[in-house]
Structures are given as C-alpha cells and as structure tokens.
C-alpha cells in the first residue's frame, strides 16, 4: 500500500539505489498553475549533501514532470513526477547484504517479503521522501490559492529545546532551527554525535495557517488522526502531538479548554482541531524523530542465517534525520490539508446547490 | 467517513441521544466462534456509571447481533451490532442548544455541517466508542485464535505517573491503574478535580503481545501510522507515541537502537515496530488524553448567533475520560492488528502458493 | 466487502432469514430533508408478495432510521436503517441444508467460506436488496433537489420486447412494464412459466434525466464503469449495456457517433456518457436478468458430501426476478449518480475557489 | 481516480501526446520472477502500426521498469513502469484544438475540467491502455504460477459473428479472429469501412481458465461486478456480458441453470460465476466495442465557443478499436483475477491458521 490520501491521492515508487523514484499525484484540480521552479525549490530544501549536518550523499534530485499538465496548467489528470538516482554507491552496502542493521527495517522487510533490496535500505530508505516533497509542493501551490500556508522548523535537537518559534528564521537556517538562540548549541550537539560515530534525535514543529473551519471527515478520517498517520509514517518518527499534546494529559480541563469570544478562541491548546475538525485557528503539531539508526559504532546484530556478529556500519548518513525530515513533515501536512479541502466539499446541501446551480 | 480498516473494516453509526448506535464489522473470516458473552463483557468494561470516577449516566450497553453469524460461528458476511440508548436525558442539553461548549466539537460541527444534533454532543460524543468496543471484541476473539493478546491500563493521571506496568492489576482496578502504588493518588486527583467542578487528563498504555513478524503495509499503511490514526481518532486524544516515543527524540542512536541476538532483540525502544512493520517484540504505545472538556465551571463562550456569554455546563460527565478511554484504545488496537493480519497475507509468492495449493 | 461508493458510501448487512437487514449510508450531505414516507414508498415498490407475479413471501419491509437525522434533516453523520425480517419460513429450507441448488450461490459460498447460512440463501439472497432500495431512496431525495430523476421499467420478459418506453406507465404496472401493448403477453409468459414450475428472465431499462455534464471520475471510476459494476452486482444480472450497447458493436462509426449542435446532441447512441463522463443527455441502460434459478422442477445436483441427487426446490419464489429487480436498478443508479455528484466537486480550481471564497 | 484494484492496485498516468505514460503496480507479492521480455511481448501485441487493420501511428512502446524488482524478482514494493512517447504528431491535432469531435470525450473533458489537452485526445486516448497491458502482463505472470491463464479473441466484427472460438488461432491472427472461417469476411468489413472513411465495431471474447472456486468478494466487490467495471472502463466499450449474458434474459430457468454432478457443472451458462464468486468453471465474457469515433467523414459539431461547424477528422486511427482492445480486455481481466486471488486469502479461519501457523 503505497498510496496516501482519498481525493488528492499520491502513490510513490522507488528505492534508494534503484533507477529512479517518483510519484503519481492524482486528483489535482484542473487549472492550477504548476510552477516547476517552486517544486524544484522544495526538493532542494530536502535534498542531501547541503552541509556537514547532513549525509554526504550528493543527489541533484532533479524532478521531471511526465504527465498531467498542459501549457503550464494542471488538467485534472494524474501528475507523474520522476527523480532519477545519480549518486548511488551501492558498493557501500555490499557488507550489509546479509546483515540486519539495528534500528533499521532490514529485519522486518526480510521476514515479511522473504527478499530484500539491501542497497541503502531499498524501499525503506528515507530517500523515498523526495517523492513526497514533490507531491507536497503541488499541494502547497494549491493551498496558496486559498491563502493556506504551511511552515515548519526544528524545535528540539538532542534534548535542546527551542524557546522561540521563529519560522522565517528556520526557513533560512541550515538546520532549520526555530530558535536562533539555541541553534548553535543544537548544531554542536549534532557534530559532537557525528564525531562520536553516533547520531541524535530531534523534533519538528509544523504550523498551518489559514485553514478554513470545517476540514476533517469524522469519525474515521479526522484531521488529527490523518495528520498523525501522515507524520508517524515518516521514516524515524516515533511520536506525534497536536497542540499541547502530551502536556494536555497533565492539565486540568479548566486550563486546557480554549474559551471562545466573538473574534475567535482565547487560546489554542487544541492546536486548531476540535472533534477532528479544524476550528480556524492555527494548526500546530510536534513530530518526534528518533536518532538516525545508521551509526558507525559497533553493534550486536545477526545476519540472514541467524548468526550473531558485531557490526559497524559504513557509508554516508545524516547525523540527525529530523532536519531534512522537517521538510517532509511540511509536505505531508500540505497533502493532508489539500485532501481535506477537497473532501470537505459536499458536506452540506447548501454548498452543493451553490456549486451546481 | 465513518469506516476504518481495509480488509477488516468497521463502520459505525449513532449519536449520543439518538435511538441507537452500532456498527457493521465487515471482513470477519468465516468460522470464528462469536462469543456473545465475551463481547458483552468488553462493553461492560467501557460502559459508564460503574463508579464515582465515571459519569453517572447509566447505560446497560446491551449489544445485539443482527447478522453475520450462524449457529454461533461467523459466516464471512457483515456482522451488524446494535446498542439501543436507554438513559438519555436530552433535557439536560436544552441549555446548550445554541451554545458552543469550549473544548467540544460543537463549534466545528456547526460550521462544517450547518446543523447540529446538540443532544450530548450528538455524533461527536464519546458514546460512539461503544460501537468500537463491540467491533474490537470480535477482533480480539480472532486474534486470540492466533495467540495475540492486547492489554492496557492507565499509566498517568493528572501528571501522576506509573512506575510499574501491571496489566493484570489494571484489568481489575476501578480506574484501570497500572501501578497499584500510584492508584490511590491518581484516584484522589480525579476526585479533587471533580469536587472542584473540573476534570483531569490521563495517559493510556497499550501492550500487544504475540504479533508475528511482518504486520504493516509500507509505506502508507504502516503499522505505526495506522495505530497513530486509530488512537488519535479516539475522542480527547492529543498525542500518541510508539515505544520510547517522545523520549527517543532526545536519545543518542547508540542508546536508542535495539541490538539483535539470535533469540531476539536486546531491548525494545522501538516498541515492536521497525520501518512500519512489526518485528515480533511487544508492541507498546502511550495514548495521551486531554482532560474532559465538559466541566461545571463558568467559561467564556459564544452561541450560534455569535453572542458572547458566560456558561457553566450541567449534566453528567466523566471527570477523566482516559479511564474508560483505555478500553477503547485496546479495541482500536485489536481492530488494527486484525486488519494487518489479513492484509499481510499475500505479501510473498511462497505464502500464496502454500495457501492455494 | 459489503460497501459501495466513494463519497456517498453505503454498507449493507443481513441475511434472508436472519434477525434483520439494513444499511449504513455514509456521506449524505447535511441539511437534506429526509422524507421517511418516501423511503417507505420506495421499499413498498420492491417488497414481495404484491401479486401473483412475485413470490408469496409477505414482508412488511418496514424501515426504521436509527441515526443521522435530527428534526427531519440529515446531519452529515451516517444514516443507519434497519428492516426486521418477519415472515421467514426457515423450515422451508431444511431440505436444502446440505444441497447446492443449481444456479444459486450455495456452492460458491460453501467453498469460499467453509460454512453457509442455507436459510433462503442467507446473504446471497436478493432479500438484501431491500437495504439498497432504502439507501437509494435517500440518494433520490438528494438528486431531486438538483432536478435529477431516475426512472425504470421492464422492457423485455421471456424474449417479449417492448417497442415503447413509457416510464409513467411502468410505474403503475404490476410488472413495471414499459410497453402497455406488450404487458399482457409478458404477464402470460410469466404465469405460464410459473405454472410449469419454471421461471423466466427479463430486462430492466433505466433512464436518468437531468444530470449535469461532468459526472464520472476517469479513468478508473468512470460513470459507465461504475454503473456497470452496480448493475452487474445485482442478483441474477448477467449483462449490462449503456446506450446502444450491444448494437453499437455492429454499427458503423458514421451511424453511431452522436453529432453535436448548439442546442445539444442530435442523437443519443452513447446513452449520455462519453469517455466515462456524463454529457448532459439522458443516461440510458439496459440490465439483463437471468431467470430465477429457484424452480420447482427436478434438477441434478450434489450435496456437501459430494453425493449426486435429483432435487426439486420448495418454498416461495419470484417467477421473474427482473420485475422487482428493476426497482433495485433504479436505486443503485441513484446511489451511483449521487456519489458522482459529490466526487465531481473539486474537479477544477474555479469551482473550488467559488466554494471556499 | 486513476487507480484500479484493491490489494493489487495499479495507477496509471500519461497522455497520448505527452512525454510518457506508465503505471505503478502496487501489491505484487515478493518473489515473483519478473520476465521483462514477456511484458514487452504483451505490449507488442497491443502496439499500433502492425498492419493495415490498425492505426498507422508507429510506437515502439518500449517499457522500462523503474522500481520494485531486485535481481529479477519482485520485492513486494511498487513496480513503476514507463513508456516514452516517440511518434506523436501533435500538429495533426491543431485543427481540433477548439473542436469537439463527435463520439469522443473532448466535450465532456472540456466541461468537467475547464481545460483540455486536445493533442490526440490527451488522457482520454486509448493510448493509455498500454500502461494497462504492462501491468496486466505482471498479473499474468503471477497467475501463471497458480496455473490460471487468460485468453481472448475477436468474436464479432461489423456484425459478422464467429461460430468457433479458437483461442490459439486468435493469438496468431492479425485481427485476433477467433473463427478462421469468418476471419476474411471480418477483415474485408474493416477495410471496406476504412476505405469509406468510416469505422466498425466489434466484440472481444475473454476466457479465463484455472481459477479456483471462491474468487470474488460479495456483495460489493463481486467478481462479475468488478469485471464489468474493468471492461466497461476500456475505451469504446458499451456493453459487457458474463456467460450467456444477454441471451439468458430470454431463457427459461430450467434451461439456464447449470446442473451439478460430482465432477463439476454439466453446462456453463453462468460463465463461471455464481453469486459473484467463481465456481471453478471457465470464466467467459463478451465485451462490446463501439466503432472508432474517429472517422474521416464530415460530421456536425460545435467548437468551444459553441459555434456550429462541419468537421472531417484527419490523422491516424484504428478502423476497428476492438482488435487491439481485446489485448486490453485480457490485461484488465488478469488484473482483476490477480486482485481477487489476494483478496480471497483470509476468507475463513482455517486458511488464516494454515497461513500463520
């Protein structure tokens, strides 16, 4: 099951060291200006090799559109996009051919499928998320026409928490840091782990502004539920919270409720979602990434013959996957919101009559 | 969208103060013994009015099976179950007819649909979760035949955290407390909030044992992603974590990776899921519930005419929704795992040939 | 898989001789007036026992709405409807407990599921179609607000073809005959077969008027494809044609093309659908029903122990299932069109902006 | 909605004169030998320009696999395939830029989407079916491992009907004719129409052998219903019948029922499907194609400004789309059967226990 979304539905393909990866984005409304430079610029934000805080693998991540547009506009037909892999060093992986890397999906893929493309993790590699970013860029273009925008940044690295959420700063930070006063410490933590042949975890914070009231299809395609699925499904994510999230579980009802006045809510503990439906406030999420499982320290593991061995990984890896991951969070959020925009149409007869008459 | 699951799919209906609520559970394999007493016993665990820690609304929550079984066995056809409402006091809600209760879905439903069944929150009431428990009970029966079991309990109330996870104790605790040494303090916190016309949040911990390796359909129907959706979609849930979850984001890779030996993993930081697929270890999740939004303190709000008012709720409400919510978490987990059991069949040709030949 | 539709989705449950049958209709827009008398009147058109041309089984087919409406209007939440069985004579079926009736699904259900509710065919009985008619009635109510209407009638019985398609006549005909000049001959053919302990086939013709241009979601949820699925899925249907259908395969392109003028198409060989999308003309379909497999003549068959026997059925059966089947065709058509109305919203950016701004 | 299937799901993209077309086939079980030569040979059967009975457009239709295989085997991940367009003559279409060709989808696409890629019909062109054949070839490879095979041929052209169904002959016939005694007359009818600047319709007959009993997911993913959708969704198809189909509607029950003996059914009027489930007999379908709407005679039409004009098409077109269409019928049938093979697993507890234990 390699598709996501109901009315705006994308399907991805591709492995880390295969010929190409890409996606089909189905359900894009006709008449949307498809700004290819913008799509590429989004891919550039996620692409590897931009700094010492990322893997050294260099990929141009040049996206090509194969279908679905005509004279610069979407036609309502599926938009296929492809990104050819160029910088595979599959030889780096010959030593893991029969070995299950701890913290990776090698073990589970092998047992589920009985066969495994071990080169760079194959399909389970975060390289696949390039396709999500390409699809997400088109979702963002669609949302912009409705004045909906999505931002994100890193609010925690290795336990060093942001106290400020400065999204414009994050956009230009090499580690997408939200708090410029914490940025240096966060960078140091990453480099220290890297130098120790280790890795660190981090947290991405996502902000969605401008959503109309009413997005979300209760009770089993709720906005928060689907966002949780979308975020948890990103490689290395282990927790998701909406609004106050974890903290709300230790709060009193009187403190946690967002009281309402004529001009809106007096607070936003709920993170913009009530009963699974957007309430018009900012939607806020935190997405928790575990540390990159690829480390260069020796670890216990087994191979496909169930023999024990001590194993130290080689190759090129991100010391903190949350950094590039935050771009993927934005993209997935955009895809969810755009899908919900489409699904929400037809919720009531007034809207239907207005549309058809 | 009131359905959940792919091959084992349930669809629920019903409002808090309507005639009845219930569900259709579709995709139950034929030949499963449908133990109606067991299903009722699961509903009894969730039903309200059992103690001072719960709402005083008394509902028998007697479930009737309308279809899908024959001579005590499932037939492979849809199992419909219905629970008639008996203890509605809709008059309790006449004062909220035009008022949006803070923290509730009143505001969002009204704006999305243009009409709202205000009685007890209508469809957005947690009363609907009775149907999930009925469906979940059948999923549990199916899982038991494969030696898969699901447990849960409350691991935190009002910030008071469990240090022990004693699932058998939780099963018999009136507040489903996992740590008997914390239980009294947790109870007191609930009653204190209740006496103050307030409410508290809490955390449910879910444990799934016996899952085979290989459950989960990457990349967009991953086991962790779907569990996150299933849990986040439960009323009042604001965060979900798998395994070490939030904590893993501040860990080092060398500490967070679960090393592997011939007899299995040496630790379980991952919570039993790698790359979205079960790895055969225990699956562990924490589910964070906000405090019940229904409180008896006066709060600022507006009505459907956008007039401001100060409002204090009446009626009968749970002071801590996490308690009964933990049964719902179990049920949803069971439904997800059973669905994944079915979906996983056909992952590779060897399994298919074995099945058909 | 007991659900149909994408945005307007219904799920049915129930067996011929079980406690009840019914459905959940999900995705009905809020604010639709739910006319219960109309729904019942549609069920009355399909219900058995109205004449000698139908089975003698008497069922009130009284429908109850359990959820999804408030003060007479839909609320956007699932509408559950239930019909209790009242006139089962399950004893009639004790003799088929272990026998596979020729032409029935007994054989296939037994082998697929390993268990079979033999009473009246269980789930495979056309009795389930009562639930479709209930759901279809609500779809029709929705379509009426958009001036879309659906008619049908019998255009062939036992090879006796209509030369006139008089839908108002059909509505009042006891066999729903479209051609009053053929009606008597068609009736005689039915009674003759019945008296011979045999049965006859027939053809239903469905007409949909008032559809806007643009319904249908190519390339794999085309309007004609989905209608074909919907019709072929009705019990006893063996062929479906759109517009000229079978005949068009022997026509020349110059004769079969519908030329276009300012005020519309000059002919309607296409039956209102081009490229899987409605073109604004009348949608016309023919649905071919095989003769009722339940006959009282002796036939060769086997039992569950694979023993051969000669077998003559007992019980009460329709001599021509097409007759009551035509009401089901209408209902399924209504459900398809209403679904397509909802799905079509969001096809282009202009419509989306108009909706949201 | 450009995807088809539930567990084996394919999604296509591409326009007649765009850069490329292709598909993602998701859900292929791991461990299947992916014979690329076979896939290409299937595409070669459908590709245009092979004879005077087909369009003169020459396309190599060379398929490239971009993902989902490793060392010649499927890995359980999505298989993406792409076919680059090479022989577009888009200039041929400049004269239809603003004109709606009668019998084509130009009119409906324009009104639905507000924009139209007019070059060769864009997405609505039958050129897209190349992607179906590529996906279908993999489905056939999967089915072969289970001894299921699919054949087809042309059983009628321009009203000239086959009296013999010789599938091996059809495979080698340039017009895929089933009856070699009718083949010449059928060829002449095609050429005569072609010479008259006209076109003819035809009928494809599809035969599926070796299916196990039990395929089909009643009541709303029935084998016959889904086949009907799959066939009706092929360009130019206007009718579908299973088994005796249309004829069964004029038969008596006693003649139409297939009686059963220990070694199987005594006849196969049902075409191998009872109650929407395969009964182990051959599955037989007829698929009716209208004549190609692209003809070179002058016809009445309008343009996008709603001006009337007389219009004669230019370009290169098949005089009888049924011919190459029959390969597409086979492919779609293979995809449906393979999907049903996967879906059927898990129908009963015995099968599940056998699979997991």
Residue-wise pLDDT tens digits, D218-249 = 999 999 999 999 999 999 999 999 999 999 99
**Which residues in chain A are closer than 8 Å to B300, comparing Cβ atoms?**
259-261, 266
pLDDT, tens digit (0-9, with 9 covering 90-100), for A32-64: 999 999 999 999 999 888 888 988 888 889 999
Quick check: C297 contacting D, CB < 8 Å? yes
CB atoms A356 and C341 under 8 Å: yes
Mean pLDDT along residues C315-340? 95
Strand runs labelled E in B99-195: 149-157, 160-161
Alpha-carbon distance C119 to C95, whole Å? 10
Q: Are strands B160-161 and B73-74 parallel, antiparallel or unpaired?
A: unpaired
With cut-offs at 50, 70 and 90, classify the pLDDT of residue A253: very high
- Structurally, chain C folds into a number of domains equal to 1
A307, containing H or E segment:
none
CB atoms D29 and B352 under 8 Å: yes
CB atoms B241 and A245 under 8 Å: no
CB atoms B248 and A259 under 8 Å: no
Burial class (CB in 10 A: 0-12, 13-18, 19+), A72: exposed
- List helix spans (H) across D21-159: 36-46, 106-113, 129-144
pLDDT, tens digit (0-9, with 9 covering 90-100), for A59-116: 889 999 999 999 999 999 999 999 999 876 667 677 888 999 999 999 999 999 999 9
Q: How far is B219 from chain C (nearest CA, A)?
A: 23
Give the pLDDT confidence score for residue B92 in this predicted structure.
67
Alpha-carbon distance B123 to C26, whole Å? 13
Q: How far is A34 from chain D (nearest CA, A)?
A: 14
The two three-digit tokens of residue C209, written as one number:
């008027």
* 8 Å CB contact between A154 and A202: yes
Alpha-carbon distance D24 to D132, whole Å? 10
Give the residue among C326, C335, C255 at the shortest CA–CA distance from C285: C326
CB atoms C248 and D114 under 8 Å: no
Give the pLDDT confidence score for residue C56 in this predicted structure.
83
Alpha-carbon distance C98 to A17, whole Å? 57
- Total residue length of chain B: 357
Judged against a pLDDT cut of 90, whether residue C317 lies above it is answered with no
Alpha-carbon distance A202 to A329, whole Å? 13
Facing B113 at nearest CB: one of C1, C12, C76: C76
**Which residues in chain B are closer than 8 Å to C11, comparing Cβ atoms?**
3, 11, 24, 26, 78
Facing C260 at nearest CB: one of D107, D291, D347: D107
Mean pLDDT, rounded, of chain B:
95
Question: What's the distance, CA D352 to chain centroid?
Answer: 33
Give the pLDDT confidence score for residue C90 in this predicted structure.
64
Give the pLDDT confidence score for residue A50 in this predicted structure.
87
C-alpha triplet B185, B190, B191: angle, nearest 5°: 95
Judged against a pLDDT cut of 90, whether residue D96 lies above it is answered with no
Three-class DSSP category at A250:
helix
Quick check: B297 contacting C, CB < 8 Å? no
Assign residue D247 the CATH number of its domain.
3.60.150.10
For D156-190, letters b (16+ CB in 10 Å) and e give bbbebebeeebbebbeebebbbbbeebbeebbebb
Give the pLDDT confidence score for residue B49 in this predicted structure.
85
Q: Which of C348, C350, C353 is the best residue to mutate to test the A interface, defined by the most A CB atoms within 10 Å of its own CB? A: C348
Alpha-carbon distance D338 to D354, whole Å? 21
Mean pLDDT along residues A254-269? 96
Q: Are strands B273-274 and B277-278 parallel, antiparallel or unpaired?
A: antiparallel
Q: Write the secondary structure of chain C as one string of H (helix), E (strand) and C (coil).
A: CCEECCCCEEEEEECCCCCEEEEEEECCCECCECCHHHHHHHHHHHCCCCCCCCCCCCCCCCEEECCCEECCEECCCCEEEEEECCCCCHHHHHHHCCECCCCCCHHHHHHHHCCCCCHHHHHHCHHHHHHHHHHHHHHHHHHHCCCCEEEEEEEEECCEECCCCCHHHHHHCCCCECCHHHHHHHHHHHHHHHHCCCCECEEEEEEEECCCCCCCECCCECHHHHHHHHHHCCCCEEEEEECCHHHHHHCEHHHHCCCEECCEECCCCCCCEECCEECCCCEEEEEEECCCCCCCCEEEEEECCCCEEEEECCCCCCCCHHHHHHHHHHHHHHHHHHHHHHHHCCCEHHHHHHHHC
Give the residue among B153, B165, B147, B166 at the shortest CA–CA distance from B209: B147
Give the residue among B19, B60, A223 at the shortest CA–CA distance from C79: B19
Quick check: C78 contacting D, CB < 8 Å? no
What is the chain C residue with the closest CA to A342?
Answer: C346
Q: Which of A337, A348, A357 is the best residue to mutate to test the C interface, defined by the most C CB atoms within 10 Å of its own CB? A: A348
Burial class (CB in 10 A: 0-12, 13-18, 19+), C302: buried
With cut-offs at 50, 70 and 90, classify the pLDDT of residue D93: confident
Three-class DSSP category at A266:
coil
Give the pLDDT confidence score for residue D231 in this predicted structure.
98
pLDDT cut 90: percent of chain C above it: 90
The residue segments making up the domain with residue C307 are 3-356
Quick check: B29 contacting D, CB < 8 Å? yes
Alpha-carbon distance A346 to B114, whole Å? 12
Q: Which residues contact D148 (CB under 8 A, 6 or more apart)?
A: D208, D209, D210, D211, D337, D341
Hey, CA dihedral for A96, A102, A105, A109, is it positive or negative? positive
What is the chain D residue with the closest CA to B351?
Answer: D355
DSSP state at residue B270: T
Alpha-carbon distance C256 to C89, whole Å? 51
Quick check: A268 contacting D, CB < 8 Å? no
CB atoms A349 and C29 under 8 Å: yes
Q: How far is B280 from chain D (nearest CA, A)?
A: 13
Q: Are strands C149-157 and C79-84 parallel, antiparallel or unpaired?
A: unpaired
Give the pLDDT confidence score for residue A55 in this predicted structure.
86
CB atoms A73 and D115 under 8 Å: yes
Mean pLDDT along residues B339-353? 96
With cut-offs at 50, 70 and 90, classify the pLDDT of residue D95: confident
Q: How far is C95 from chain B (nearest CA, A)?
A: 17
Give the pLDDT confidence score for residue C87 in this predicted structure.
75
Give the pLDDT confidence score for residue C48 in this predicted structure.
86
Mean pLDDT along residues B295-303? 95
What is the complex's ipTM, to 2 decimals?
0.97
Q: How far is CA C122 from CA B11, B327, C16, C249, in A?
A: 21, 34, 5, 39
Q: Which residues contact A112 (CB under 8 A, 6 or more apart)?
A: B213, B214, B216, B277, B344, B347, B348, D30, D76
pLDDT, tens digit (0-9, with 9 covering 90-100), for A14-24: 999 999 999 99
Q: Write the secondary structure of D258-304 as one string of H (helix), E (strand) and C (coil).
A: CCEECCEECCCCCCCEECCEECCCCEEEEEEECCCCCCCCEEEEEEC
Strand order in the sheet with A283-289: A160-161, A149-157, A202-209, A283-289, A237-242, B237-242, B283-289, B202-209, B149-157, B160-161
Q: How far is CA C158 from CA C154, C182, C289, C299, in A?
A: 11, 12, 10, 21
pLDDT, tens digit (0-9, with 9 covering 90-100), for D99-143: 999 999 999 999 999 999 998 889 999 999 999 999 999 999 999
Hey, CA dihedral for B42, B48, B49, B51, is it positive or negative? positive
Alpha-carbon distance B253 to B270, whole Å? 12
Q: How far is A166 from chain C (nearest CA, A)?
A: 29
* 8 Å CB contact between B179 and B202: no
pLDDT, tens digit (0-9, with 9 covering 90-100), for D168-181: 999 999 999 999 99
Three-class DSSP category at A135:
helix
Mean pLDDT, rounded, of chain A:
95
Quick check: B72 contacting D, CB < 8 Å? no
Quick check: B34 contacting C, CB < 8 Å? no
Q: Which of residues 304-343 of D touch C (CB under 8 A)?
A: 306-308, 322, 343
Quick check: D346 contacting B, CB < 8 Å? yes
Judged against a pLDDT cut of 70, whether residue D92 lies above it is answered with no
* 8 Å CB contact between C216 and C337: no
pLDDT, tens digit (0-9, with 9 covering 90-100), for D187-223: 999 999 999 999 999 999 999 999 999 999 999 999 9
Give the pLDDT confidence score for residue A92 in this predicted structure.
67
Give the pLDDT confidence score for residue D90 in this predicted structure.
64
**CB atoms closer than 10 angstroms to residue B195:** 9
Quick check: A345 contacting C, CB < 8 Å? yes
Alpha-carbon distance A166 to D334, whole Å? 54
Alpha-carbon distance C296 to C278, whole Å? 44
- Total residue length of chain C: 357
CB atoms D19 and A67 under 8 Å: yes
Q: Which residues contact D107 (CB under 8 A, 6 or more apart)?
A: C213, C260, C274, C279, D100
**Which residues in chain C are closer than 8 Å to D253, comparing Cβ atoms?**
103, 193, 198-200, 290-295
Give the pLDDT confidence score for residue C92 in this predicted structure.
67
**Which residues in chain A are closer than 8 Å to B307, comparing Cβ atoms?**
262
Give the pLDDT confidence score for residue C22 in this predicted structure.
98
Judged against a pLDDT cut of 70, whether residue B210 lies above it is answered with yes
Q: How far is B75 from chain D (nearest CA, A)?
A: 8
Peptide bond into D219 cis (omega under 30): yes
Q: What is the DSSP string of D10-30?
A: EEEEE-TTSSEEEEEEE-PPB
Facing D253 at nearest CB: one of C4, C199, C241: C199
Give the pLDDT confidence score for residue B309 in this predicted structure.
95
Q: What is the DSSP string of A37-91?
A: HHHHHHHHHH-S-SSTTS-S------EEE-SSEETTEE-SS-EEEEEE-----GG
CA atoms within 13 A on the CB side of D155: 18
Q: How far is A337 from chain C (nearest CA, A)?
A: 14
Helix, strand, coil percent content, chain D, rounded in steps of 5: 35, 25, 40
What is the chain D residue with the closest CA to B210?
Answer: D356
B265, containing H or E segment:
strand B264-265
Q: Is 0.90 topped by the overall pTM?
A: yes
CB atoms D80 and A14 under 8 Å: yes
Q: How far is C58 from chain B (nearest CA, A)?
A: 20
């Amino acid at each position: 099951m390699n598709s996501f979304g109901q009315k705006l539905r994308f399907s991805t393909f591709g492995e880390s060291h295969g010929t190409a990866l890409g996606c089909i984005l189905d359900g894009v409304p006709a008449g949307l200006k498809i700004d290819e430079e913008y799509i590429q610029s989004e891919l550039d934000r996620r692409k590897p090799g931009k700094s010492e805080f990322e893997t050294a693998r260099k990929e141009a991540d040049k996206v090509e559109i194969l279908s679905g547009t005509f004279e610069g506009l979407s036609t309502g037909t599926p938009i296929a996009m492809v990104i050819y892999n160029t910088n595979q060093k599959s030889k780096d992986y010959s030593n893991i051919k029969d070995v299950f890397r701890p913290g990776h999906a090698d073990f589970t893929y092998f047992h589920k499928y009985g066969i495994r493309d071990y080169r760079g993790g194959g399909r389970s590699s975060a390289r696949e998320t390039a396709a999500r970013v390409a699809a997400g860029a088109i979702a963002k273009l669609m949302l912009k026409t409705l004045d909906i925008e999505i931002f994100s940044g890193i609010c925690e690295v290795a336990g060093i928490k942001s106290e400020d959420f400065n999204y414009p700063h994050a956009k230009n930070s090499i580690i997408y840091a939200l708090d410029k006063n914490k940025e240096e410490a966060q960078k140091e933590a990453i480099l220290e782990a890297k130098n120790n042949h280790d890795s660190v975890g981090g947290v991405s914070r996502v902000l969605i502004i401008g959503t109309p009231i009413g997005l979300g299809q209760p009770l089993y395609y709720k906005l928060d539920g689907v966002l949780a699925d979308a975020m948890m499904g990103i490689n290395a994510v282990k927790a998701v919270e909406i609004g106050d999230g974890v903290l709300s579980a230790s709060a009193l009802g009187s403190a946690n409720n967002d009281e309402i006045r004529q001009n809106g809510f007096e607070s936003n503990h709920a993170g913009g979602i009530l009963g699974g439906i957007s309430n018009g406030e900012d939607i806020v999420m935190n997405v928790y990434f575990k540390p990159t499982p690829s480390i260069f320290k020796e670890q216990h593991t087994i191979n496909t013959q169930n023999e024990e061995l001590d194993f130290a990984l080689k190759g090129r890896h991100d010391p903190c996957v949350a950094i590039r991951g935050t771009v993927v969070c934005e993209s997935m959020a955009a895809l969810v919101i755009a899908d919900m925009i489409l699904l929400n149409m037809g919720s009531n007869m007034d809207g239907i009559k207005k549309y058809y008459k």
